[in-house]
Structure 1
Amino acid sequence: MADVHEPLVRRKRKKVLVDYLVQFRWILVIFVVLPISSLIYFNIFLGDMWSAMKSEKKRQKQHDENVQKVVKRLKQRDPKKDGLVCTARKPWIAVGMRNVDYKRARHFEVDLSAFRNILEIDKERMVAKVEPLVNMGQITRATCPMNLALAVVAELDDLTVGGLINGYGIEGSSHLYGLFSDTVVAMEVVLADGRVVRATKDNEYSDLFYGIPWSQGTLGFLVSAEIKLIPVKEYMKLTYTPVKGNLKDIAQAYADSFAPRDGDPAKVPDFVEGMVYTESEGVMMTGVYASKEEAKKKGNKINSVGWWFKPWFYQHAQTALKRGEFVEYIPTREYYHRHTRCLYWEGKLILPFGDQFWFRFLLGWLMPPKVSLLKATQGEAIRNYYHDNHVIQDMLVPLYKVGDALEFVHREMEVYPLWLCPHRLYKLPVKTMVYPEPGFEHQHRQGDTSYAQMFTDVGVYYAPGPVLRGEEFNGAEAVHRLEQWLIENHSYQPQYAVSELNEKDFWRMFDASHYEHCRRKYGAVGTFMSVYYKSKKGRKTEKEVQEAEAAILEPAYADEA
């Protein structure tokens, strides 16, 4: 019997035309995508500055007017002919890899493009009230000069508040605060019947408050959110620790880096992430906030990673494997967005020479290419190629199963680097779509508490080893096996990713009970698409649209084990 830890043996694959289109796509990226991206970023920046110059009162007034436009638009829908409701965002604008196939069939659009303002930064309540299209770059630009930040700041600048709440969001502080949606204090939602409600965890709409996360906007339109702020300092003191050994050793070193076995809270860092570079090498990074005075003390090294000519962050971290453990101070906002310029390590595939000094010095200021433009210019053939020969997946697994997850990915996909980021999964008053393992609080495993189980996001983003070696690789089958592994190990797949799940398996992975309750109670059935309908791969047929419009909600089903 073959060693279960060894990658599968595969045959060589013949190259076809699309291989060369992908190989030389950098030409289009340099001469078209990057210049247009920079203009778009500059235009967005000007818009953000214009918004910031307005008074809070004026921004709130415009917000209220825009909410009424959404209500009016919803009431214009004719249920007999107009299709199910969704936003008017173009399919290629979404940051995720999914084709957004539900927008390629008949549907009724509601424009939310005006909802991109920071409405209020309340220093007394320590809450930021923002609209759903506010992105991470915009909000850190506003809060960091105040020595404030969202409790969880997703790394990529373009990620929006709405996407992170309706879907999934994580960062290196999630081992303390949970997922992005766990830091939300209140949500303003437009329901199917046009009512505008404010949902909190303890008011009459508390069920909606717990139902919105992971629902993909299928319970109502999120039009604003109040999100927890925390005090921060000017710098992040970051320690890079190399780890060598097998994948189980790396997983244990990762757990030890932020969840001390003796339970001493003083040893828990403010930020943590791990990067696994090969099946035997990784680097763990732990950060604590530091003042400007501390960072500038004699002998301390400050590394402004945000400069365009600086080495890409994942490659800089990799130097710890040769240098040994080292410490440096990074400006806090630059640390938050450390993966933006190279899109983690996807930039290496998009521009194979993008990490070279000459490119970084001459053209690095144009990075990153806007993901929406990359998608808009790729065409159907290249899009299908990426689905078959590329992996962009996140595996949310219990901390004690990280070693097993790493071995699975190595055996099935051989994707490196891998990203590790821990997060708490809270035991909530209701059973939401994602939830901890039953009885976890009695196991007393590393990282767990009585109120939350420690999970980890294993980020799998890159071309698999077989593809890089020119071997056959079936992306759909690999993702299907990954999804089955997740189901069997009480783990989850964020819905931004390309999924091969059928409806039964979808509801084996996620719990439908509370979501269905909210769909019924708030009139979403027959108006808003269901979360599986939105996540399902493939273009929707007219028959599927009609069935969804006429839906009488039946319990989501799953095969009995």
Structure 2
Amino acid sequence: MTVTALPAARPVSRAAHDAAVAQLQRQYRAVPPGTRVRLGKPTSNLFRFGSGAGAQLLDASGLTGVLDVDPVAGTAEVQGMATYETIVAATLARGVMPLVVPQLKTITLGGAVTGLGIESTSFRHGLPHESVREMDVLTPEGELVTVTPDGEHADLFRGFPNSYGTLGYALRIVIDVQPVRPYVAIEHRRVGTSELSAVTEAVCADPEIEFVDGTVFGRDENYLTLGRFTDDPGAGPSDYTGQQVFYKSIRERTSDVLTVHDYIWRWDTDWFWCSRAFGVQHPLVRRFWPHRYRRSDVYRRLVALDRRYGVTSRAYRLLGRPQEELVIQDVEIPVARLPEFLDAFHRDIGITPVWLCPLALRDKEQWPLYPLAPGELYVNVGFWSAVPEVPGDPEAHNRRVEELVAELGGHKSLYSTVHYDEQEFWKHYNGPAYRALKERYDPNGRSPDLYTKVRRS
């Protein structure tokens, strides 16, 4: 079955892939020891601005495609720097999609595997790295190793997720894919905070529900959005790439239908709700804002420019307004503790809306650098905004989030700012396991360790 989507690019040939890998390996080996390196990608979804300053760029432009999609075997073979936008176009053209597609088009598969990712299928299929069958990894020593769950490098296979490139770069990845149908029928169900844990557990246990996420608009105003594949377009699928905004529809209607392509990218057009900071949700601005610029990577570049030149900060000083603390985090909270987290979050942080996404490990074993408990349902809570700084304590709100996560037995993703001291950091991210991997795959310390990398800004 073919699902309508953007035209898929031609598959990358094996010869072209091998040549690109050899070229990258030559570049890397030519870099003098002690010189920082990073992949020269045109986009980033990290919120550690400036962390690559002074690093030597490696040209990875030959590693951005799809090698093969095999619907019969249920796999896709993908180059490590391919974006999910590219991967989805290739897989939907063959009637399949990755088991988990993170929300933003320019997230790369290699980035999602080494830096984690999540979406509304994660309650059933876990995180993107759990869909991996094998990888070719360029280690910090410049060696190319093939990594599988039970091979010679099984330790790297399990330790690669949440290592953020400090144990190497994934250049080729084989992932599981699943069949799709043309549309996704969704239901928006309002749920009180006191009922949220029980209802979330119940819908995630329903075998007929294939997608679950949620939105918090305020105290006791929570919605769970439930999705199912369907062949029925209903009265016609909705389009949230034009004048309408997806997250606003959650409060306005109880049911909806989107094409599978538009469902996958429903959050990208407005970067969830964050496009409002640029006025893009105002009807007049939206009408004249070019369609091709209604994308998460465009908004992220605007934020990067603001951070680089301090435009907002200077404006606030001129206006006599307090400076703002960016609170941009995703955290995993055990489902039973979710109401406690939200109550404290509303009281101490006060950001809305907030995204909810249930997840449970697909695998029965832990992934050592992000040790979620197998068999336990968590809820990812995502919040991306700014609040007035506490005078004299510009990190107060972010540190409060980290305290809450620790108190409630959760975990915090590392794509944004990190405020733990080193001892606390390694307690949460399995310092002994990480050091063993560094000793084996980076004995000469060519890459920074994980704490150094995520704390650098």
TM-score when scaled to structure 2?
Answer: 0.89
Partner of residue 257, structure 1: 203
CA displacement 1:376-426 (0-9 Å, x = unmatched): 421342487899433211111111111111112111111111110011135
Question: 2:320 maps to which residue?
Answer: none
Question: Which residue number corresponds to residue 301 of structure 1?
Answer: 235
Partner of 1:334: 262
Selected match of 1:389 from 325, 335, 345? 325
Distance in 1 of aligned mates of 2:78 and 2:68: 7
Per the alignment, in what secondary structure is the counterpart of residue 347 of structure 2?
A: helix
- Whether the 8 Å contact between 2:49 and 2:304 is mirrored in structure 1 is no
Q: 2:252 aligns with which of 316, 319, 322?
A: 319
Q: 1:462 aligns with which of 385, 389, 395?
A: 385
1:214 is matched with 162
The 3-state SS of whatever aligns with 1:394 is: strand
- Alignment-derived partner of residue 347 in structure 2: 411
What is the aligned counterpart of 2:47 among 97, 104, 107? 97
**Residue 356, structure 1, aligned to residue 278, structure 2:** no
Per-residue deviation, 1:474: 5.4
In the alignment, what sits opposite 1:75?
29
Conserved? CA contact 2:99–2:125, under 8 Å:
yes
Q: Secondary structure at the match of 1:65?
A: helix
Among 245, 268, 274, the residue aligned to 1:346: 274
Amino acid at match of 2:9: A
Deviation (angstroms), 1:52:
2.2
Task: Output aligned runs, 1:117-516, within 5 Å.
Answer: 117-243=65-191, 245=192, 247-259=193-205, 265-266=206-207, 268-291=208-231, 294-295=232-233, 300-309=234-243, 311-320=244-253, 326-351=254-279, 354-363=280-289, 365=291, 366-368=293-295, 370-378=298-306, 379-382=308-311, 388-425=324-361, 428-429=364-365, 432-437=368-373, 451-464=374-387, 475-516=394-435
CA displacement at 1:278 relative to structure 2:
0.8
1:429: Cα distance to partner? Answer: 4.4
Secondary structure of the 1:391 match is: strand
Counterpart Cα distance in 2 of 1:431 and 1:139: 25
CA RMSD of aligned residues (A): 2.6
Give the aligned partner of residue 9 of structure 2: 52
> Following TM superposition, by how much is the alpha carbon of 1:225 offset from its aligned partner in structure 2, in angstroms?
0.8
Deviation at 1:472, TM superposition (A): 6.7
Asked if the contact 1:302/1:328 (under 8 Å) is kept, the reply is no
Q: What is the DSSP-based 3-state SS (H/G/I as helix, E as strand, rest coil) of the residue aligned with 2:397?
A: helix
The 3 A distance-change label for structure 1 pair 122 and 398 is same
Deviation at 1:359, TM superposition (A): 3.4
**Number of the residue aligned with 1:28:** none
* Structure with greater Cα Rg: 1
Aligned residue pairs: how many? 442
Identity among equivalent positions (%) equals: 23
Q: Deviation digits for residues 329-353 of structure 1, max 9, x if unmatched?
A: 21001001001111001111122xx
Distance 1:391 1:431 in 2: 27
Structure-2 separation of matches of 1:123 and 1:461: 36
Whole-Å separation in 1 of the counterparts to 2:275 and 2:326: 13
Q: CA contact under 8 A between 1:388 and 1:473: conserved in structure 2?
A: no
Structure-2 separation of matches of 1:418 and 1:430 = 27
Distance in 1 (CA, whole Å) between partners of 2:394 and 2:363 is 34
Q: Distance in 2 between matches of 1:221 and 1:472?
A: 41
Q: CA deviation at 1:487?
A: 2.2
Instruction: Give the C-alpha shift of residue 180 in structure 1.
Output: 1.0
Give the C-alpha shift of residue 520 in structure 1: 1.1
SS at match of 1:528: coil
Q: How far is the alpha carbon of 1:87 from its aligned partner? A: 2.5
Q: Which has the higher helix share?
A: 1
The Cα of 1:274 is off from its aligned counterpart by: 0.8
Conservation of the 8 A alpha-carbon contact between 2:125 and 2:361: no
Residue matched to 1:526: 445
Rounded Cα–Cα distance in structure 2 between residues aligned with 1:185 and 1:407: 40
1:282 maps to a residue whose letter is N
TM-score normalized with structure 1 length: 0.73
Q: Is the 8 A contact 2:63 2:81 kept in 1?
A: yes
Report deviation, 1:480.
0.9
| SS at 1:165 equivalent | helix
Measured in 1, the distance between the counterparts of 2:274 and 2:393 equals 20
Using the TM superposition, give the Cα deviation of residue 463 of structure 1 relative to its aligned residue in structure 2, in angstroms. 3.4
Which runs of 5 or more residues in structure 2 are unaligned? 1-5, 317-322
Answer whether contact 2:240 2:246 (CA < 8 A) is retained: no
> Matches of 2:59 and 2:382 in 1, distance apart?
32
Distance change >3 Å, CA 195–CA 185, structure 1 → 2: same
For residues 430 and 242 of structure 1, what CA distance do their matches in structure 2 show? 33
Distance apart, 1:427 and its partner CA? 5.9
Relative distance call for 1:388 and 1:504 in structure 2 (3 A) is farther
| CA distance 1:456–1:229, shift in 2 (3 Å) | same
Give the match's secondary structure for 1:186: strand
Cα distance in 1 for partners of 2:69, 2:439 equals 35
* Residues in 1 aligned to 2:366 and 2:224: alpha-carbon distance in whole angstroms: 34
Shift of 1:511: 1.3
